[in-house]
Structure formats: structure tokens, C-alpha cells
Amino acid sequence: MIQETEGLIRLRQAYQDCKPDQFGLFLGAGINLPCGNVRSLFSTYTWTELLQELYALNRNHQTQSFNALRQKHGNDWLRFAEDIVGNLPTAQWVAQLDEIFYGGIPRSDKNYKRLSQEFLGQAPTLQAALCFSAEIRERKSNSCTFRRNSKVGIVMTTNYDFFFGAGWTRYQSFDSHWKVHTPTSDPPRKHQRPIVYLHGYLPYQKRKKQALVLRHTEYENAYRPEGFAAQQLHQAVSRYMLLFVGVSFADPPLRQALTGTWHRGAPRHFAIVPRNLAADVETLGVCAVPIDDYAEVAEVLKDVYVRALKPKENKKHAFQDRAQYWEQLALGPKRLGD
């Protein structure tokens, strides 16, 4: 049972009252992590764990232990990563990250190489974010069709992986609703909404890889005033009401973007965060929704979504209650009871 807090009450009301395309999801590294009583079948990583895997692949080039580097750099993850990859060609460490993310996950499904259901089953926060971004178009006796949640106009992430997009294909054709947005991509079409990859993108399908932000040079280029990450971040915090999930708020550009806009009438943002981080998040002009356990994130997303459902939606699709609507979203095309 999630705790009733002022932040949760305000988030419910803001989401219920928002107009189409006014809401957005900002997803951090925590979105993919197993939590609660789930069994991990595939590896996922915090940022530190990702660097540890990258270090292991480049151990022969290292002169210091991983722990020594961690103590040396603290929270300066750019210097930390730079020390790990050293003078490796960019294509080599990008390929290493690709293998770390996707090496143990099936990529041969003929239907758009969709993410396995087993992976989503171990990542309840990711699955809840997918449910939150979708709505039911039509429900028949033996199947459902889906569309993008009309309230969600953007998904933004500092992650490299395509887990959100690949997971979304179980609802409907990905390209009919979303467009991966990077410095080298075409802009979204009228019917699409962007998934903005601030730090670069590793596609789930095997094709040409995008440049990634991992070292100081790439970071500085991305966040210079005319840089892709800087422009996208400032536009998002000014235009949308963002809900931050799995985000630590450690990146200086994010903190600067939030404090630089919220005083000027920008939309009020929300963050689901551990209780001990709530006070810091509030100083950024972000309304904190405090939790005591990460497993509560999925429950918060469900609570906010189903409370905003109008009774006519349940009646239209012949659901018994709002919770059953969310249960169908979690199942995707499968029928309730199967």
C-alpha cells in the first residue's frame, strides 16, 4: 500500500487535469532494475555497475583497480568512464556497451525483434512506465488494440538502451506512435511523439550505432548552448509537465535546466524519489512524491493512471473496474484470464 502524501495527491490532480500531449516521462537508469519479489533472468545495471562491466572488459588496459578509480573520481562519472575506456577507439567501447546491454537477451524475434516478456516480467517499473504511456483503443472478446496515451507527449531518457521502445512494440507498431530522437535522426512525423535520447542511443536491432556521451568531450558538446542535449532538455522542462522516474538528479545540466525555468511559469514537474532525496528535489522546483521502497514506483504509476480513468472508459471496454483496465495494459494483447 503506497503512502498518501501531498506530492502524490498533487501528482494525481495534475495528471487528471492535464491536456493532450502536456505530460511527459523522464526515465533514468533505475527504470530497468528488478525490484520486489521478482526473479532476475537477465542482467541490468545501475550506472556504477555498468562502468564495472566496462572495466572488466578492458581490464588489460587498467593500471588501477575499479575500487581505486571509484574512490578517485567519486560522483564524477565522466572522469571515471574516461579512465576506463582510455584511448580505446569509440566504435570498440560502443560495441562493448551494446554487448553488456543486449548480450543475454533474445534479438531474433521476427516481429520487430521485440523485447522478451521474460525481461519485462523482471522489470516491473519499466513495465509500469509502458502501461502509463499506452491506452486501450478497442477491446474485443479475444483481443485488444492499443494506442499511445494521448496525455503523454514525450519520453526523455539519459539511458542508452532501447528497452522502453522494444517493450512498447507489444502494444502496437512502435513507429505508428513513437520516434527515436537523436542528433542524427529525422524529426518525428505528425502522428509520432519523440523518445529523446539525451546521451545517445544503442538500438535493440542490430544496425549502425549512434554516437554516445561517455567522456568529457562528448558531454561538453552535447550540453553546449547549441548542443542537442541542452536544447532538448530546456525545451522539455519548459513545455511539458515531466514525471521523473529512476532519476538521481545528479547531472548538473538537469539541475540547471530545472532551476532556470521553473521560476518563469514553466510547468510544474514531479519526481518519484526515495524519501531521503525529497528535500533536495523540492529545491529544484520539482514536486517530490516520496517512497520508502523502489518497488512502490510501479504502484504510484498505476495509482495516478487509474484514478484519472473516466467511468465511461471501463464501460466502453466492459471492464469490471479501473484496476482491470490497468491489468489489461500490463498483459498487452493477451486476454484477461489467459
Domain chopping of the chain, boundaries? 6-38+119-331, 43-103
d(CA 141, CA 338): 12
| Residue that has been written with the C-alpha cell 527504470 in this structure | 31
Q: Tens place of pLDDT for every residue, the chain, 338 residues?
A: 788 999 999 999 999 999 999 999 999 989 999 988 888 888 899 899 999 999 999 998 888 999 999 999 988 888 899 999 988 998 899 999 999 998 888 776 655 456 777 888 899 999 999 999 999 998 877 788 999 999 999 999 999 999 999 899 888 889 999 999 998 888 899 999 999 999 999 988 766 667 899 988 899 999 999 999 999 999 999 999 999 999 989 889 999 999 876 556 666 899 999 999 999 999 999 999 999 999 999 999 999 999 999 888 777 888 888 889 999 999 888 777 66
pLDDT, position 266: 64
Task: Provide the CATH number for the domain formed by 6-38+119-331 in this structure.
Answer: 3.40.50.1220
Query: C-alpha grid cell for residue 176?
Result: 505508428
**Residue 281 φ/ψ region, left for φ over 0, alpha for ψ in the -120 to 50 degree band, beta for the rest:** alpha
Digit-coded pLDDT (tens) for 279-336: 999 999 999 999 999 999 999 999 999 999 988 877 788 888 888 999 999 988 877 7
Q: What is the DSSP letter of 191?
A: T
Strand partners, 335: none
337 Cβ contact partners less than 8 Å away, ≥ 6 residues apart = none
163 Cβ contact partners less than 8 Å away, ≥ 6 residues apart = 31, 32, 115, 119, 123, 126, 204
Question: How far are the Cα atoms of 33, 128, 245 from residue 40, in angstroms, in the given order?
Answer: 9, 17, 20
If we measure between CA atoms, which residue out of 199, 167, 219 comes closest to residue 332?
167
d(CA 108, CA 205): 9
d(CA 27, CA 156): 6
Cβ proximity of 300 and 2 under 8 Å: yes
d(CA 118, CA 167): 11
Torsion of CA 288, 291, 293, 299, to 10 degrees: -100
If we measure between CA atoms, which residue out of 57, 81, 90 comes closest to residue 212?
90
How deeply is 168 buried, as exposed, middle or buried, from its count of CB atoms within 10 A (0-12, 13-18, 19+)? Answer: buried
Q: What is the pTM of this model?
A: 0.93
End-to-end CA separation in angstroms for the chain: 27
Cβ proximity of 170 and 154 under 8 Å: no
Cβ proximity of 244 and 26 under 8 Å: yes
